[in-house]
Amino acid sequence: MRVVALGATRGMGRALSRLMAERGDLLFLLGRDPKELDKASRDLEIRAGSGLRFGSAHCDLEQPDGFAAALDQAAATLGGLDCVIVSAGVFAPQAELEEDPAVARRMLEVNFARTVEFCEHVRRRLLAAGGGRLCVFSSVAGERGRKPVVLYGAAKAGLSCYLEGLDHKFRRLGLVTVCVKPGFVKTGMTAGLEPPPFAGEPKPVARRILRAIDRGTPVVYVPGIWRWIMLVIRHLPRFLMRRLGF
């Protein structure tokens, strides 16, 4: 597959891009920091061991004017697009988001409005080419309004809703949307937070996501157990949710 990955320098995106590079997929990386992009590409090239070179280009979710050019460059380098992965995003604890409106605005913009805007660029390109796969990292935080993730969860709920709509409308035209809903995964993003039970590691989580991409599974929970945890949480009555701390 010819794959474009936004946010592959760290965390689950890194683990996923490594799996893809090792099995022979051709990658093009998008991200904010040219030095990090360069290191990530070298790492992937060595892991792939095929002698292929993986390109990269600057793309920042906070600068939507650059989306089209970045995707154009990726498509030109790869000779077309089969799959686009969006694992970039920002996280901040609820307390900090409540405290500082600027942090909250940035989080809401990046995780919802800009991510959707980026996906719209991808949608047009993939549909024009006859189809493709779009895999976007949302979160289990978007399943229910919850005390520790009021704002972050709201942004992710919006994103999940958008992705579901895309899937319903465009799957028959060849655009396969995969919405990834991670529970707690131990990456740099969650460093310093106390891992809850059922916390996952990036590598096994990435294997599950890759399987979902290959099969075109519209929603994938990682680690898998979160599917059942969220099934319960979705059905908890409001009076109970109000009392619970999570």
Partner 1 sequence: METSGETLQGWGGTRAAGVEIRSEDLAAITRGAVLTRGLGRSYGDSSLPPPGTHSLPGSALADRILSFDSNSGALRAEAGLSIGEIQRLFLPRKWTFPVLPGTQYVTLGGAVAADIHGKNHHVDGTIGRHVGTLLLRVADDSVVRCSRQENYDLFQATLGGMGLTGHILEVEVALKRIPSPWIWRESERISGIDAFIEALAQASRDWPYTVGWMDALAQGASLGRGILIRGRWAEASEAPKKPPRSRPRLQVPFAFPGWALNSLSMRAFNTLYFHRHPKHPKRGIVHPESFFHPLDVVRRWNLIYGKRGFTQHQCVLPEKDRPGAAKRYLESLTAGGLGSFLCVIKDCGPEGEGLLSFPRSGISIAVDLPIRARTQETVNELNERVLEAGGRIYLAKDSLSTPEHFRAMEHRLEKFEVVRRRWDPERRLKSAQSVRLLGDSA
Buried b or exposed e, range 94-126, using 16+ CB within 10 angstroms: beebeeeeebbebbbbbbbebbbebbebbbebb
Q: Return d(Cα 118, Cα 241) in angstroms, integer.
A: 34
x/- map, 77-116, partner 1, by CB under 8 A: ----------------------------------------
Task: State which residue, 129 or 189, has the beta carbon closest to partner 1.
Answer: 189
Is residue 31 near partner 1 by the rule CB under 8 A? no
Q: Return d(Cα 236, Cα 33) in angstroms, integer.
A: 42
x/- map, 183-222, partner 1, by CB under 8 A: ---xxx--xx-x-------x--------------------
**Residue choice 23, 24, 34, 47 for contact with partner 1 (CB under 8 A):** 47
Least spacing, CB of residue 219 vs partner 1, in Å? 27
Tokens of 173: 């035209």
Stated as kind and residue range, the H or E segment containing 224 is none
Other Cβ atoms less than 10 A from the Cβ of 158: the count is: 18
Is residue 10 near partner 1 by the rule CB under 8 A? yes
Least spacing, CB of residue 194 vs partner 1, in Å? 8
Least spacing, CB of residue 210 vs partner 1, in Å? 16
Q: Return d(Cα 208, Cα 92) in angstroms, integer.
A: 26
Task: State which residue, 150 or 199, has the beta carbon closest to partner 1.
Answer: 199
Is residue 17 near partner 1 by the rule CB under 8 A? no
Residue 42 gets which letter from DSSP?
Answer: H
State phi, psi for 19 to the nearest 5 degrees: -60, -45
- Collapse the DSSP code of 4 into the 3-class scheme (helix H, G, I; strand E, B; otherwise coil) and give the result: strand
Task: List the one residue out of 246, 244, 245, 207 whose CA is nearest residue 224.
Answer: 207
9-17, 72-80, 167-175, 235-243 -> range binding partner 1 (CB under 8 A): 9-17
Task: State which residue, 46 or 95, has the beta carbon closest to partner 1.
Answer: 46
Task: State which residue, 9 or 177, has the beta carbon closest to partner 1.
Answer: 9
Residues contributing to the site for partner 1 (CB under 8 A): 9-11, 14, 22, 39-40, 42-43, 46-47, 49, 186-188, 191-192, 194, 202
